[in-house]
Structure 1
Amino acid sequence: MEPASDPIDAIIQIALGVWVRVDNFLHGLVRPWNVYQVLIALGLFLVAWGLARWFAPRMHDWLRAREGWPKWRIRLLLILHRRLRHIFFVALIWPAVWIMRASTWPSRSYLLTILGSLALAWLVIALLTRAIGNPLLRTLVRYGGWVWATLIIVGLQDETQGLLDSMALTLGSMRLSLWMILQGFVLLAALITLARFLSHAGAANIRRVEDISPSMQELVIKGLQVALYGAAFFIALRAVGVDLTGLAVLSGAIGVGLGFGLQKVVSNLVSGIIILMDKSVKPGDVISLGETFGWINALGARYVSVVTRDGKEYLIPNEDLITGQVVNWSHSNDFVRLDIYFGTSYGDDPHAVRRIAIEAAQSVSRVLTFKPPVCHIVGFGDSSVDYILRFWITDPTGGLTNIRGNVYLALWDAFKEHGISIPFPQREVRVLNETPGPDSPSKALD
């Protein structure tokens, strides 16, 4: 790793040139017409600030009344609402520049032209960077764009580019400069933003295709995202002149090392692909895994999100769904059979009990009638005749405990109406007094 030849001299020369230009610009500000332009710009800024203060609450109330509008339109107007002062300033300063150019010498509007160009460039950059989803990346790109636009407008672009290019390191046959790194970062941010937009648009279109199963939809979406983001990364590297041959060798060595240290991560990634391909589970399925019962909310690259009835969200590693025993209540169809047990006294007619139990189960709304319930005797207990009642539902996502409870309540009401009793064990408890009484044998011997 060797530094570039004579970088210090180049940096000093470029820095001196930049300083001379900055010094000339600062001395020019004390001229009368430049002072007038600064005062005009301050006045226009105060007018823009007052207009924004007056217009912002009215626009906010108007937006709140726009019911039924698409979200993208509301979001766009909210972005403009936050930049009202900036928008008004740009709208005011450029007419002032045109009036100054038409009424006096062009040099007397030079400073206003610079300020108007800066305001317009900063506004455009601020609006365009709202498309970047990551807050940190959006902030870096925005401030970087503001700095670079300022350098271009004030005429310091070439000097700054030369200064950044002189700060370089040589890695074998490749020269890596700070200017190249900044170019690659900006290009990568732009390509990632484009890839993010294309992946979201592609995912929305794929999910609208009903002929593709949900599992295959997720697999295609994941593959599309990997391809787009990977292409953005390699295109950015190639665009700034990075040799990918050495990177391929380095990535191979790193991959071998990571293969030993990240076995679980790789196993979960491969398991996720297998799950998507074999369609064993898909979003919306109701599953049981150990003590966890809920429906699948999303399939991730490393885990499956399962939401339970009490609102808890479990992130289950994909490997557990491949190697463990999973109960999928809605794999091939949505029909689920539930069993409940009860008992009646020996004095009740079992034929009538079975008929009444079936009618009671059918009266519950979620119980299927085209797959009618059945009731069977399963044994003769100590104090009751034991029965099993089986019924079917088609919406396990609605809960299992609540439907069992509703059927039990229907049985209770039906048995009470028909005089059928539900026995329960009864025991007689006698308390024995250990103190001998007057007629006890021990007293008779005295």
Structure 2
Amino acid sequence: MEGDFATYLDQLRLWWAAAETSLRNLLLPSRLQQIAILAVVLAASWGLKRWAEPRMRAWMHTLEGWPRWRLRVLLILNKRMQLIFFVVLSWATYGAMRTIYFFPSRSYLMELVATIATALLLVVFATRLVRNPVLRSLVRWFLWIWVILYYLGLTGDAAAFLDSLAVELGDVRLSALMLLNALIVTGLLLFFARLVAQSGAARVRRNDSLSPSMQVLVVKILQIVAYGAAFLIGVRAVGVDLTGLAVLSGAIGVGLGFGLQKVVSNLVSGVIILLDKSIKPGDVISLGETFGWINALGARYVSITTRDGKEYLIPNEDLITGQVVNWSHSNDYVRLDIYFGTAYANDPHQVRKVAIEAASRVERVIAARPPVCHIVGFGDSSVDYILRFWITDPTGGLTNIRGNVYLALWDAFKENGISIPFPQREVKVLEGSRLETSPGAREVRG
């Protein structure tokens, strides 16, 4: 511990000496002049930003019909207006100084600052490839720090300092530099793995020879392989030995196997669903009281959206062990039944004919399988019928098509004089009975 502390003190002394030398160089008359010019350039860029930023935003509000990616680029430029102006003015000032002064040392500081500012601006645009806002900010700040250290020639000293911050666990030495390298290499490999997985997924989805469920399975396997290979290669690239973790990972795997039985069951059930093609994206299913169409097949659950806009996440295990009605498994034909009754005075043959013609005129009822109507019983007040018809778009809803057929029946029955009876009761007064009223009741005479 004492040796490490002495090493840290020596490192700090060296940095302090380098800082004193750099400060003396900055106090030279030529450097002070360049610092003053840089201050003027910074103030000018700030003023130009204050002037141009609101005007550019007002102009952007007038751009109707532009693609979103163009508007996004303009928004990025608007947010970095001061840095853009600073880069342009710095290089313009540097060019003017090189023509005025013969010695390059008179404009060295201006060139260095302009180069660093340009690199920082390029980092801003490059990190837009990272979609996650938090991760994008971390990557951007890391690259900014590395760019500044690189152009100032301090990368070697920073690396030596990070390497000195180490922890030894037996024969394994973990330093801050090793962890940083591991994060950088693994992050880059995961980024390229993500690009490979996305491009591969796009090509798989364009392949019409694969069913939707098989496409999802291939995409999941591609993602697992790509990300797993990127992680293992990244860890091995920084010199981490994974053989010592074999026993520990086995013990952890046994513990997770007992504690995460449901999770593993859902994962296996998801693979089975993808392989047997019983359920695929776009199918209309009903499970218990839930009726809707499948949006996506996940590794743990299936996303189902109902007609009222609710999204249910059904575990894969429930779809394997429960009874599922797939309205569009082998084909899109769906038969619907509605029940109605007419008065005994109406001719049943006419009622059947009118009902079939009325249902056939409804928009979503298909003509390839025409509707049929049958008598199913003689009720107390009506003759009961069943009307059956077919549709091919269950995703459009079932309740609304039933309602449209009922409305068509109502209009058709009204045009043809067919009545829909309501329950009636006949009251018979027996001979010799008397109707008694209460003493407070008033006699009503007609």
The aligned counterpart of 1:100 is 97
Counterpart selection for 2:138 from 137, 140, 161 = 140
Alpha-carbon distance in 2 for matches of 1:201, 1:75? 23
SS where residue 362 of structure 2 aligns? coil
1:229 positional shift = 1.2
Contact residue 63 and residue 74 of structure 1 kept, 8 A: no
What does the per-residue CA deviation read over 1:369-402, in whole Å, with 9 as the maximum and x for residues that have no partner? 1110000011111111110000000111110000
Q: How far, CA to CA, are the matches of 1:352 and 1:358 in structure 2?
A: 10
Cα drift, residue 34 of structure 1: 2.2
Paired position in structure 1 for 2:83 = 86
Q: What one-letter code is carried by the residue in structure 2 that aligns with 1:65?
A: L
**In the alignment, what sits opposite 1:33?**
30
TM-score normalised by structure 2 residue count: 0.91
Taking a change above 3 Å as real, the CA distance of residues 102 and 255 of structure 1, as seen in their structure-2 partners, is farther
Contact 1:52–1:88 under 8 Å retained in 2 = yes
In 2: Cα distance, 1:225 partner to 1:35 partner: 56
- Shift, 1:66, TM fit: 6.7
Look up the SS of the partner of 1:35 in the other structure: helix
When the two structures are superposed, what TM-score results if normalisation uses the length of structure 1?
Answer: 0.91
**2:443 corresponds to:** none
**Residues 68 and 147 (structure 1), Cα distance of their counterparts in 2 relative to 1, 3 Å cut:** closer
Q: Given that residues 168 and 175 in structure 1 are in contact (C-alpha distance below 8 angstroms), is that contact kept between their aligned partners in structure 2? A: yes
SS of 1:341 mapped into structure 2 = strand
Q: Which residue of 2 aligns with 1:315?
A: 313
Please name the residue that 1:443 is paired with: none
What is the one-letter code of the residue matched to 2:332? D
CA 106–426 in structure 1, closer or farther in 2 if over 3 Å, else same: same
After superposing the two structures, state which structure 1 stretch, 416-425 or 170-179, moved more.
Answer: 170-179
Kindly provide the CA deviation profile for residues 272-331 of structure 1, in whole angstroms up to 9, marking residues without a partner as x: 111111111111111101111111111111111111111111111111111111111111
Q: 1-side partners of 2:332 and 2:437: how far apart?
A: 65
Alignment deviations for residues 401-420 of structure 1 (CA, whole Å, 9 cap, x no partner): 00000000000000011011
1:180 maps to 178
1:7-28 per-residue CA deviation (whole Å, 9 max, x = no partner) reads: 3232222222122212332343
8 Å CA contact 1:17, 1:159 repeated in 2 = no
Rounded to whole Å, the distance in 2 between the matches of 1:25 and 1:401 is 80
Q: Pick which of 267-276 and 192-201 moved more.
A: 192-201
Partner residue, 2:336: 338
Q: Which runs of 5+ in 2 are unaligned?
A: 441-446
Q: Classify 1:351/1:103 alpha carbon distance in 2 versus 1 (closer, same or farther; 3 Å).
A: same
Deviates more, 1:78-87 or 1:240-249: 78-87
Change in Cα spacing, 1:202 to 1:53, as seen in structure 2 (3 Å) is farther
- Say whether the 8 Å CA contact 1:131–1:193 is kept in structure 2: no
In structure 2, C-alpha distance between the alignment counterparts of 1:310 and 1:251, rounded to whole Å? 46
Q: Which has the higher contact order (CA 8 A, sep 6+)?
A: 1
Kept in 1, the 8 Å contact 2:381–2:424? The answer is no
Structure 1 residue 165 displacement after superposition: 0.3
Q: How far did 1:84 drift?
A: 2.7
Deviations 1:178-220 (CA, angstroms, capped at 9, x unpaired): 0000111122222222222222222222211111111111111
Please tell me whether residue 268 in structure 1 is matched to residue 266 in structure 2: yes
Aligned partners of 2:182, 2:361: CA distance in 1, in Å? 68
**1:11 equivalent in structure 2:** 8
Contact 1:174 1:243 in 2 (8 A): no
Corresponding residue of 2:444: none
In structure 2, the residue matched to 1:376 is 374
What is the aligned length? Answer: 433
CA distance in 2 between partners of 1:432 and 1:302 (Å): 73
Asked whether the 8 Å contact 1:100–1:106 carries over to 2, the reply is: no
In structure 1, the residue matched to 2:383 is: 385
Q: Report how far residue 159 of structure 1 moved.
A: 1.2
Inter-CA distance 395–302: structure 2 relative to 1 (3 Å threshold) = same
TM-fit CA distance, 1:428: 6.2
Shift of residue 41, structure 1, vs aligned partner = 1.6
Match of 2:396 among 395, 398, 401: 398
- The one-letter code matched in structure 2 to 1:270 is V
Distance 1:72 1:226, change over 3 A: farther
**Alpha-carbon distance in 1 for matches of 2:137, 2:312:** 33
Unaligned runs of 5+ in 1: 438-446
